[in-house]
Amino acid sequence: MELTIYKNVLYGTLKPWLIPSDAEKFYRQNMTPKFQKPSENISDYYRALKELHSDKKTLFTDDGLDIYKSLPKSEKAYSILSPLVDLPLPTPVNSVQKFYHYLLVNETTRLTDRIYNSFVNSDDELLQKDIVLNAVRSTKDLLLKIGSDREAFPTDVLTTFVLETLSKCIVRLLKETEFLYPSFLNSIPTDKTEAFAELLQAEVPAYDIDKTTPLFTTVMGTLIGADSYNLQSDDRFAFGYNQRNTDSLKTVLYALQREIELVNENENTVDDLLAILTSKDLQLGAKPVNLFCETTQFSYIVAKMELHFTNFNPTSIEKSKLFESKKGNHIKRNNLYKNKSQNCKKQQQIDTILKGL
């Protein structure tokens, strides 16, 4: 499997130390919302990149998985739009750094999505194993290459930022692949000592590289069949969305985001919230959602949405510790009851949107 964009960042047309002097203005004026935060399909980011860098044809060559796109679409197909593994990344502080940040985060998501859908479209176990092992081998080879070439890379601020982001994104891709297809691996899953000390030849970080997001549970459930996805834990916690198809809920959440800024998009995506609401087990290291709307609005939405869940109410919200206010405080049951109002701001628009459930 060719990790084309990753390699172009290291050795090709996107090397950060060769970035032109007018790049800051170029990216500030030309990065589109779909490039930064695609909301429908991760391919939207890739199409936006093609428009942004139509001058760099080498970025868009076949990565070895195109053949699987021609196969009939599997009933287990799933559009992955956000990370399945949560790794901390450096914060971009200018437009050029933002370009590399969104490029690498979204490219990693796109690759996980391509591996997943190539895997489920093929019903041949040998081909499936080849897909998985090629992905694992390619990521480990590139991590080792970064470690071996580290001394040769420049040490300016941008290059340091990009190399750290790239390294963590490759580790994320490796871990997402290992987590989704454990029975197809030829070796034990990679731990952080192997990833950082042995391959990257860097300091082993203190943070956990095995922390999955709620979306991982959803994707894994789709992969092996939701009905047979029996987690080992006997005390599963979930909000119990009572519809098998999540499309209507997704549409409603995105509409609420546009109308009242439901979540803080600097901290989370709407898909993070969707994954939390539809997950079958929220005890897998879920990251809290930072709300951006008024508490009275959220309280009103909770009251209206309760009927569509078996366990979505102020008590379960407090118990989950998965919802934070604008100030970063966990939402408490009393906060929601105290702010319960029949006349919240934009109530009519909220009511109209919630009819979509």
Q: What is the pLDDT of residues 238-275, one digit of tens each?
A: 888 887 678 899 999 999 999 999 999 988 889 889 98
CA-nearest of 118, 282, 113 to 212 is: 282
Structure confidence by residue, pLDDT tens digits, 140-188: 999 999 999 999 999 999 999 999 999 999 999 999 999 999 999 998 9
Length of the chain: 357
Work out the angle at residue 207's Cα, subtended by the Cα atoms of residues 99 and 283, and round it to the nearest 5 degrees: 100
pTM as predicted: 0.70
Count of alpha carbons within 13 angstroms of residue 178, beta-carbon side: 23
Q: Say if residues 251 and 355 touch (Cβ distance below 8 Å).
A: no
